[in-house]
Amino acid sequence: MKRERLIAAMTIATAVVVFFFVEWARARAAADVIDDWMRVNVAGAQYAPEQYRVALPRLVSWLPLPHPLSVAGIETLALGGTLAMLFRLVERSPNRLAVFFTALALPCLWLFSYARPETLPTCCYVVAMVSLAERPRWAVALVITAAQSFVRADVSMVMGAAFVLSRVAPLLGAACMVEGVAAQVALSLVYASAEYPHDVPRVQIFANVTHPTAIAAFAIVAIPLVATAVVQRRVRVKLAASDRVAIWAAALYAPAWFCFGSLREARIFAPMSFALVPALTKIWSALATKSESGRTH
């Protein structure tokens, strides 16, 4: 166990360091874009729903660092926290290292082409909430949900609903949903003048089903999940509370993404893909163990 923890820690640390320098280089190249993004949001002049995501632009403006360095630093810390919490959730699974890093490959790939400043902090929030399902802590959950509600309020509401529907901590889930709704209502009132782009439909079902790239992106995300569901019917792994919360969150968020988001923007579902990694690891590890047992006998 100690050896595997050391290997995981070294791998995660290497990934985080490489990611930081890659993101810092990208952020420096897009310094003008980052400055405009921060300035326009702080001024309240951005299109909805971007205008409602006020936490990160303000945090970047407050930090006494160059804006590209601040963005890269926030994203790197969020990635490190996400990977560390995910490994803690899969420590007891057989074949955990191989399957864990294999399961991480897909959501990590989406980050480099599609990530926005709020993507990785949202990933970190979702994984933190999934981790809290094992031992719910009201104070921690409510504080991080309040913060997330000013990054992406829709994710706060979905995670709250996942706690309710999974029956892990229904009252806590309801409180998180209230926080998300209250933040969204407050932001809508404060930025009442924020309008949605006229050339972007509010409901994007037709745009998604008629665009080949959108269908391909959705298939790449969906096929591993469907395959895992088929495997689960065969191996019947007992899922922990954290796994149930992650599955419910993904099941709720996928239809919302399909209806109101662009499937070409796979980063939207990346937080749920990360949260599903522990469940995927357990299920595919169980299949590998079962196959090895069959060959032995």
Per the domain annotation, does 143 fall within a domain? yes
Percentage with pLDDT > 70 across the chain: 93
- Structural domain count, the chain: 1
Angle at the Cα of 244 from the Cα atoms of 239 and 250, rounded to 5 degrees: 130
What was the pLDDT predicted at 51?
93
Percentage with pLDDT > 90 across the chain: 49
Note whether 82 and 124 are within 8 A (CB).
yes
Residue 244 one-letter amino acid = R
Q: Residue 94's pLDDT band (boundaries 50, 70, 90)?
A: low
Length of the chain: 297
Per the domain annotation, does 139 fall within a domain? yes
Per the domain annotation, does 29 fall within a domain? yes
Per the domain annotation, does 293 fall within a domain? no
Best CA proximity match to 26, nearest among 117, 108, 104: 117
CB neighbourhood size of 65 (10 A): 12
Cβ neighbours for 84, distance < 8 A, ≥ 6 positions apart: 12
Is residue 296 over pLDDT 60? Answer: no
3-state secondary structure of 85: helix
The per-residue pLDDT for range 153-206, each reduced to its tens digit, is 999 999 999 999 999 999 999 999 999 999 999 999 999 999 888 887 888 888
Residue 130 one-letter amino acid = V
Per the domain annotation, does 295 fall within a domain? no
What was the pLDDT predicted at 221?
79
Per the domain annotation, does 80 fall within a domain? yes
Per the domain annotation, does 238 fall within a domain? yes
3-state secondary structure of 43: coil
What was the pLDDT predicted at 214?
82
| Structural domain range at position 62 | 2-287
Per the domain annotation, does 36 fall within a domain? yes
Q: Residue 88's pLDDT band (boundaries 50, 70, 90)?
A: confident
The per-residue pLDDT for range 265-284, each reduced to its tens digit, is 877 888 998 898 888 888 88
Distance CA 150, CA 180 (A): 9
- Stretch 2-6: mean pLDDT: 80
